[in-house]
Amino acid sequence: MTAHQWRGVIEEYRPLLDIPADTPAVTLGEGGTPLVHSDWLSGVTGGEVWLKVEGDNPTASFKDRGMTAAVSVAVHQGAQACVCASTGNTSASMAAYAAKAGITPIVLVPEGKIAAGKMAQAIMHGARVIMVRGNFDDCLKISRGLAEHYPVALVNSVNPDRLEGQKTASFEIVDRLGDAPDFHLLPVGNAGNISAYWLGYQQYADLGHATRRPVMRAYQAEGAAPLVTGEPFPNPETKATAIRIGNPASWKLAEAAAAESGGRFAALTDDQILSAQRELARRDGVFVEPASAAGVAGLLQDLEQGESYAGTTVAITVTGHGLKDTATALEGFGPVVDAVVDAEVEAAASAAGLS
Ligand code: F0G
């Protein structure tokens, strides 16, 4: 028997993607990520809770799904360089796919607000990294300006090709569960991901691959919660730097996803987000970055507020890997090692509480 090799989201789902039919795929084998059953959250809710673990993508975040599509189309159309604004994951992904395609990645990031792992990725893949004295929203404005006036392709999620690749995550969830979940929970920043998931769920239902569409519930950090308050945040602030965004580009699409699905947005404190991150790592063995835990923190908040998920199927996207930002993860832990001992079994046994 030959083991099936996952071919990346373009080749796995090409007929369902609205990109030029003959676009060669620039791929690193993205997608096909695990849907892990959360025994912890299923127990807490009395439902079936599944984690879509997007940190298992090639550059360790969900961004690779959309990036394979955007870079493939850009290269097919003759681009020699591509640009994006980023809180870190988009830039890491873009740099990798640009490297694979042999084009120049140009990255604009808010100064001092990018996790070290993400910065290392952009640098290692050969990106030109430009730090901006401003926030993500400023970086996006500049990226749009560069793409308008210079020969560089904009690959932020305002580029519709990004959503086409990204929506494959919904397809995978339905393919695995046999139908759409009752609820889908996820973090929101620039709002491309929620828009793409909704696109994918609708398409699958229209095609008859799913009998229903999930209720979309999306969570922001309270210091960067424009979709909750209905107003842009001029100075967004949160330890979950990936979603430190005050004026999401896909605002309207995200609102439509929430409204059409009967869902909503809610805000979380940084403490709620960081606590969910730790619990998820300890209880389910899934280490995600802070922003990625917002869906889990949101579920716990909903339960506290009297919401019931009993008897339902819930998918939660955990968007990026914990190794991207170990500094924030380890804050508040004090000394990171429990004990330092001489190289002896007895000393280790006693330090481990075994003797
Ligand atoms: N989770 C992580 C880990 C992210 O990096 C992002 C966005 C989100 C959630 C929110 O997704 O923007 O589609 O609503 N990161 C972007 C970036 C902004 O530049 O990497 P969204």
Element (H, E) at 132: strand 128-132
Task: Indicate the top mutation candidate among 193, 241, 247 to test ligand 1's pocket, ranked by most ligand atoms within 8 A of CB.
Answer: 193
Residue-wise pLDDT for 329-348, tens only, equals 999 787 778 899 999 999 99
In a 13 Å sphere around the CA of 66, the CA atoms on its Cβ side amount to: 32
Q: Is the dihedral of CA 185, 191, 195, 200 positive or negative?
A: negative
Residue-wise pLDDT for 285-319, tens only, equals 999 999 999 999 999 999 999 999 999 999 999 99
CB-ligand 1 contact for 192 (6 Å cutoff): yes
Q: Are 219 and 188 contacting, i.e. CB atoms less than 8 angstroms apart?
A: yes
Residue-wise pLDDT for 84-134, tens only, equals 999 999 999 999 999 999 999 999 999 999 999 999 999 999 999 999 999
Cα separation, 196 vs 167, in Å, equals 5
Task: Indicate the top mutation candidate among 243, 244, 292 to test ligand 1's pocket, ranked by most ligand atoms within 8 A of CB.
Answer: 243
Cα separation, 156 vs 190, in Å, equals 9
Residue-wise pLDDT for 166-214, tens only, equals 999 999 999 999 999 999 999 999 999 999 999 999 999 999 999 999 9
The letter for the amino acid at 105 is P
What is the pairing mode between strands 153-154 and 264-268? unpaired
> pTM to 2 decimals?
0.97
Amino acid 335: pLDDT: 76
Q: Is the dihedral of CA 65, 159, 107, 150 positive or negative?
A: positive
Centre of ligand 1 from the C-alpha of residue 337, in Å: 31
Amino acid 4: pLDDT: 85
CB-ligand 1 contact for 87 (6 Å cutoff): yes
Amino acid 59: pLDDT: 98
Mean pLDDT of the chain: 97
Centre of ligand 1 from the C-alpha of residue 167, in Å: 15
Q: Are 322 and 287 contacting, i.e. CB atoms less than 8 angstroms apart?
A: yes
Residue at token pair 């990109």: 19
Q: Would you call 195 helix, strand, or coil by DSSP?
A: helix
Residue-wise pLDDT for 1-36, tens only, equals 677 899 999 999 999 999 999 999 999 999 999 999
Amino acid 1: pLDDT: 64
